[in-house]
Amino acid sequence: MMTHTTNYNHPEQFSRLNDPFFVLLHSEFDGWTDEERAEMKRRQADADAYEVERAEAKRIQAERPICPRCSGRGVMHEYGHIQNGKCFRCGGSGYDD
């Protein structure tokens, strides 16, 4: 049986502690069933897809200028009595197109 020593002072080693696939390699998780490992891989794939979507949304947001009137909110609460405060400059999108 192969043993693994972890250097907790090294940044790469510490970040691997949060990686579920790295954890699966350790002997303490040898008792996991195939279904549990498949579930862990599915969850990791979902998390990776979410991170890609967030990065894409941030990239798109950085390319579009934010509406200066509503500060990107799309509504102005002080005008809530007029069309529920919808910003007329950006049409409620929050972007100055």
Record the pTM: 0.38
81 DSSP assignment: T
Residue 80 sits in the same domain as residue 42: no
Residue 72 sits in the same domain as residue 32: no
Confidence (pLDDT) at 70: 92
Residue 28 sits in the same domain as residue 39: yes
Q: Is residue 5 part of a domain?
A: no
Q: Look at residue 78 and tell me whether its pLDDT is greater than 60.
A: yes
Residue 58 sits in the same domain as residue 89: no
**Cα three-residue angle 7-12-52, rounded to 5 degrees:** 150
Confidence (pLDDT) at 1: 43
Residue 51 sits in the same domain as residue 78: no
pLDDT tens digits, residue range 15-55? 555 666 665 555 455 677 888 888 888 888 888 888 888 88
- Contact between 5 and 27 under an 8 Å Cβ cutoff? The reply is no
- Contact between 20 and 44 under an 8 Å Cβ cutoff? The reply is yes
Residue 53 sits in the same domain as residue 76: no
The pLDDT mean for the chain works out to 77
Q: How far is CA 71 from the centre of its chain?
A: 23
Residue 26 sits in the same domain as residue 53: yes
Share of the chain above pLDDT 90, in %: 19
Q: Is residue 3 part of a domain?
A: no
Residue 69 sits in the same domain as residue 57: no
